[in-house]
Amino acid sequence: MYLLTVLGNLVFILAVSSDCNLHTSMYFLSSLSLADIGFTSATIPNKLTNIHTHHRIIFYVSCLIQLSFFSFLLCMDNLLLTVMAYDWFVAICHPLHYPVIMNSHFCGLLVLVSFFLSLLDSQLHCLIVSQLTFCTEAEIPHFFCDPSQLINLACSDTTTKNILVYFSGAIFGGAPVSAILFSYTRIVSSILRVPSLGGKYKAFSTCGSHFSVVCLFYGTGIGAYLSSAVSPSLRSGAATSVMYSVVTPMSTPSSTV
């Protein structure tokens, strides 16, 4: 699955870069593919090494580095999916103004803003976890250094840190989800006003693949973190995390074909 994810997304990026006609329409998708490669590479190679060597120890510094990259790329995926939802909203609801609104400079600005916001989110998570105190060697019931699991294992008081994590999740997670829901509400409303059945089908099929990736990504991601909040030792959360950390990035190239 990891090899399919990396190869599939690399082929997709090469296909977009080789055809100048695809640069504008596939700009955000190629950025998402690049983020997906990094997203899976932040956790899966280490897990594959653990399986091969039967060595499950990760050092504290390595854990912080993995957490930083994972948080950064997870937030990047999150924001890029939001930007893509806005792109579809403009394309379907304001098709005549699309070339003016979604010009190359504005698209580049959206990706750049997503990058810096993701960097801010990852540094915030790293700062929170670096302030934790662990009594002994801790066993993380996960296949990577998940911040919520690390906070649950800490010996020091984590009330303030939990508030910061939930606040960060509300800002960097809740706001994009709200924007995606708003965009798709307007998209569906515009599609339903299309008089011809063929036009409705074409519009739904155009943005349907993106919507399926959004549902898979957010559905499994929210499920994993809700399960860890209800039962911190529940290992099924790790299996759920595989869906948004491996399956969703692997499905990105195929969903755009």
| pLDDT per position as a tens digit, 67-93 | 889 889 888 988 998 998 898 888 888
Residue 49 has pLDDT above 70, yes or no: yes
Average pLDDT rounded to a whole number, residues 121-129: 86
Backbone torsions φ then ψ of 146, nearest 5 degrees: -80, 130
The CA-CA-CA angle for residues 178, 181, 184, to 5°, reads 150
List, as one string, the DSSP characters of 70-122. HHHHHHHHHHHHHHHHHHHHHHHHSGGGHHHHT-HHHHHHHHHHHHHHHHHHH
Question: What's the pLDDT score for residue 59?
Answer: 81
- Predicted TM-score (pTM) of this structure: 0.83
Buried b (16+ CB within 10 A) or exposed e, 163-186: ebbeebeeebbeebbebbeebbee
With cut-offs at 50, 70 and 90, classify the pLDDT of residue 118.
very high
With cut-offs at 50, 70 and 90, classify the pLDDT of residue 235.
low
Question: What's the pLDDT score for residue 254?
Answer: 57
Write the pLDDT tens digit of every residue in 172-222. 778 888 898 898 888 888 888 877 777 777 777 767 777 777 877 777 666
More confident site: 119 or 95: 119
Place of tokens 């039962």: 231
More confident site: 124 or 144: 124
More confident site: 23 or 164: 164
Joined together, the tokens standing for residue 247 give 């399956």
Question: What's the pLDDT score for residue 114?
Answer: 92
Place of tokens 């491996």: 246
Joined together, the tokens standing for residue 170 give 């509300």
Residue 11 has pLDDT above 70, yes or no: yes
Place of tokens 């662990």: 134
Closest CA to 217 of 192, 242, 237, 182: 242
Q: How far apart are CA 240 and CA 218, in angstroms?
A: 11
Residues 27/107, Cβ–Cβ less than 8 Å: yes
Count CB-CB contacts under 10 A for residue 129.
22
Residue 115 has pLDDT above 90, yes or no: yes
CATH number of 2-255: 1.20.1070.10
Residue 10 has pLDDT above 70, yes or no: yes
Single-letter amino acid, residue 195: P
| CA distance readout (Å), 203 to 92, 97, 164, 184, 254 | 8, 17, 40, 12, 19
Domain ranges of the chain: 2-255
Residue 116 has pLDDT above 90, yes or no: yes
Q: How far apart are CA 151 and CA 162, in angstroms?
A: 8
